[in-house]
Amino acid sequence: MVANPAADRARPFTLCTERIRVDVDPGRGADVLQITDVASGVGILAATPWRRRADSIRAGRMAPSAIDATDRWLEQYRGGWQTLCPNAGPPRRVGGTEVGFHGEASVSAWDVEANDEASARLSLELFSVPVRIDRELRVEEARLIQTDVLTNLSRDRIDIDYVSHPAFGGEFLDGRCVVATDARSVSLDPGEHDLPSAEWPRLPGGDDGSDLRVVPPPGVPARTFGWLSDFDAGWYAITNADRGLEVRVEWDARTLPHAWWWQELNGSPEHPWFGRARIMAIEPASTTTSGSGRAASLSLEPTAQTRIEISVALSTTANR
């Protein structure tokens, strides 16, 4: 049999320590498909209700059936953690060309430059815009650190989107879950609501008792889409009090000043969710979700580089 180095580079791999296991698929978006707490066996990231179908498409056992470009992305969405770049959200023009739903980086095969048990180096040169992304993944104790270096390969300034899209679900969202963050304001997506921003943790337009710190429990349908802003440093934590497990995400809010807030908690009866998904994502972002202030706000000067580091740490807490 003739070896296929390109296929080997696209093969999924695992990073691990005694406390954390991270499953990565460089062949599509360099997705982090799961982050598992070794002690409890609990995976913190969501899987879509059609995960088996998406895996079959990814493996070449099935062709996508969706005709619409956005639906085609969703049909192959397995859950986990993606990077949305150079576009996040519906297809739109970036740098003079039309870029698809959630951007080229989320669907492309990344090159694996090197990897071992605790670290990996990957790269991707985008076609839609002249940008190269060099990524380092490493695990330390119960922490995953993802560092991206974005390089403008052209002699012109480029304005792009960059949104980090970790979606939480499964056993981790079962039970009593609460959110903490250093954000100070909350906005709902203007495409769905015409409401002013509110002070965290109040839901814009909600009553005085609304509290976004409390994740609606299983059996209580909810859907919320918007963003958090006005961070001091850039962090949030989601804690499952029943399991005694906390996830803390940190980044530099000077580079990514917003965090998209997406709760799909069995709350959308329409396609493609049909009330079947229990997923929550808080996504460090360069821009807001939509509206008049929506802009590709990560600027790369000619031949310049920008470094973006995001960490996800697991810890145990006292059950309450």
Mean pLDDT of 161-188: 97
CA distance linking residue 196 with residue 152, whole number of Å: 36
**pLDDT above 90 as % of the chain:** 87
Residue keyed to tokens 């920008």: 306
Mean pLDDT of 162-168: 99
Q: What is the mean pLDDT of the chain?
A: 94
Query: Mind listing the pLDDT tens digit for each residue in 90-105?
Result: 998 888 899 999 999 9
Out of 175-189, 256-270, 278-292, least confident range: 278-292
Query: What is the predicted pLDDT for the residue at 195?
Result: 84
Contact 244, 177 (CB under 8 A): no
Mean pLDDT of 288-298: 77
Say whether domain 13-316 belongs to CATH 2.60.40.1530.
no
Assign 296 a pLDDT band (cuts: 50, 70, 90).
low
Q: Where are the domains of the chain?
A: 13-316
Task: Tell me the CB-side half-sphere exposure of residue 264, using CA atoms within 13 A.
Answer: 22
pLDDT exceeds 90 at position 8? no
Out of 19-33, 176-190, 212-226, 285-299, least confident range: 285-299
Query: Mind listing the pLDDT tens digit for each residue in 60-90?
Result: 999 999 999 999 999 999 999 999 999 999 9
Query: What is the predicted pLDDT for the residue at 82?
Result: 98
Assign 52 a pLDDT band (cuts: 50, 70, 90).
very high
Cα torsion through 145, 288, 73, 169, rounded to 10: 50
Query: What is the predicted pLDDT for the residue at 255?
Result: 97
Mean pLDDT of 282-295: 85
CA distance linking residue 120 with residue 60, whole number of Å: 25
Q: What is the DSSP string of the chain?
A: ----HHHHHTS-EEEE-SSEEEEEETTTTTEEEEEEETTTTEE-B-B-TTHHHHHHHHTTSS-----SHHHHHHHT--BSEEEE-S--SS-EEETTEEE-TT-GGGTSPPEEEEE-SSEEEEEEE-SSSSEEEEEEEEEETTEEEEEEEEEE-SSS-EEE--EEEEEEEGGGGSS-EEEEES--EEEE-TTT-----EETTSPTT--TT--TTBPPPTTS-EEEEEEEE--SS-EEEEEETTTTEEEEEE--TTTS-EEEEEEEEB---STTTTT--EEEEEEEESS-SSSTT----EEE-TT-EEEEEEEEEEEE----
pLDDT exceeds 50 at position 2? no
pLDDT exceeds 70 at position 6? no
State the pTM of this model: 0.95
pLDDT exceeds 80 at position 10? no
Query: Mind listing the pLDDT tens digit for each residue in 110-150?
Result: 999 999 999 999 999 999 999 999 999 999 999 999 999 99
